[in-house]
Amino acid sequence: MTPTMVELLNGCILTLMTPPRPEDTGPFSAARIRLAALVNRLVALECADAAAVRVWENAALRALIAEAGPGHGMSPGDAAETTDGDYSLAALDAANARLRRLVIRLHEAAEQARDSELDRKILELYCEMARRRELHLAPVKPAA
């Protein structure tokens, strides 16, 4: 399961709202707060490009399915039926999940047909999708 940004933020809220038990004070309590801060930082990084990345991914997935799908038993309309909705992250993620399932079917068909060119193209798309979703934290400076 990949938690959504809302789920991560709600977890941080609960963590910060829950008072520590007496036995959890000290280093444990400090680590809990640092972890909540780190999760918030990751959510902030994700928010910066979340919609743009998903719109790009969905367009790239649709294009691949439209181009290669008919040659591997998929209807040209399979991907076209999947819309990005209102461009909310929830709608974009729902469309992305449907498109990814279609690409998985396409990838399976390409492997069964021994279509190494399409297999390579799909793997390259997966790599680019992962690259665009990378989150980069600044290096931590050691305490003096």
- Own/partner contacts of 58-62, CB < 8 Å, gap of 24 or more, are 58/82, 58/84, 58/92, 58/95, 58/96, 58/99, 60/125, 60/128, 60/129, 61/96, 61/99, 61/100, 61/102, 61/103, 61/125, 62/99
- Percentage of residues of the chain with pLDDT beyond 70: 98
Tell me the per-residue pLDDT of 61-99, one tens digit each, with 9 for 90 and over: 999 999 999 999 888 777 878 899 999 999 999 999 999
Q: Specify the number of domains making up the chain.
A: 1
Is residue 73 domain-resident? Answer: yes
- Residue 9: domain span: 5-133
The answer to the question of residue 19 being in a domain is: yes
What's the whole-model pTM score?
Answer: 0.81
